[in-house]
Structure 1
């Protein structure tokens, strides 16, 4: 049976949304000031989300890692320096882009695109370190009960809306079987009378074909959610 992985699902969601954001920024119409402003705002929202995610890891995961495997924890700390610089650089570009003059906007957009991709480069290295250094270290030194306690503490710290947002960010990037497993566990945690509405809410960011597959995998008709 697979061991509990504290990183995999959330990291898959982050990768998918970072790549989509890079395409959006790169392909945007620099003559459309309103669209440029929205793209800049999405970049700032992403850096805010990534910082919040790092705070969650620092609170719930990395103290246990540092206690059990200080060398693995040191490897993650080294990644933070490059990552922090890339986050700050993207923030600067995103804040400057909406104020660029029409003539300067094409180059400002490309500078934003480059800054975003520099962050993605740094962030991918960070995710790789967590997935290939930190998680194996936790598997070596911790039992599944300890890893489950970490997940439980994090989930308990989230409001219902924050938990739903976490699922919305993650579910579209997961394989169908994993998506169904997450959805099944989520629905099982609410009263039976709320199960349909809960499934309808958590599947809100899925593409139509993903949503249809989820309901098929769970063995319920999509109309069940509307009862």
Structure 2
């Protein structure tokens, strides 16, 4: 069988579960890579070149049981809809379309009630409006962190963008353009701050060497704990808003 970039195939794991695998070609990859796309709930087999996609398919087939096990342990999706509970800056927040006006805002009925994110309007478009609000807050939080960390490191960034990335929480180009996942605003603030520090450090060191981590530590001494939190709970952030 011939496989192409972007194509998917379905495997049957030893436990009987069917799992989907998508193929990607990445010239920067030095070897065959198998990772999970938590948002799509499928595996991604990455090949360094088009001619190695067949090898990537075999690589994934040999690990169908691992893929199945990992997919089964993914958290259930949380849709941005009426009454849903989400995380916001590390704390629970309930969504509601009730409220006055057209501006989204956070409030609480009393100190014993959960905080509410009120997004007045058509319930059918609540997911779009909630996402828009979270992106705006994520940009504000990340901008503050980036400015502080750049000052600490004595560097300058060119721009900040907030996207819905699947495979990484942040990135940095050689000319200082920083990009982040808006989903970081759902994590505890110190975790978002760590990712900002991580990308600012890349302005000095475009690698993950000891020198790089030393720069991260200048901005975020407890970075190992925050990185561990993201590795443990990151899938939950990706499951929200599907």
TM-score by length of 1: 0.25
The answer to which structure, 1 or 2, has the higher relative contact order (CA under 8 A, 6+ apart) is 1
**Bigger helix share:** 1
Q: What TM-score, normalized to structure 2?
A: 0.24
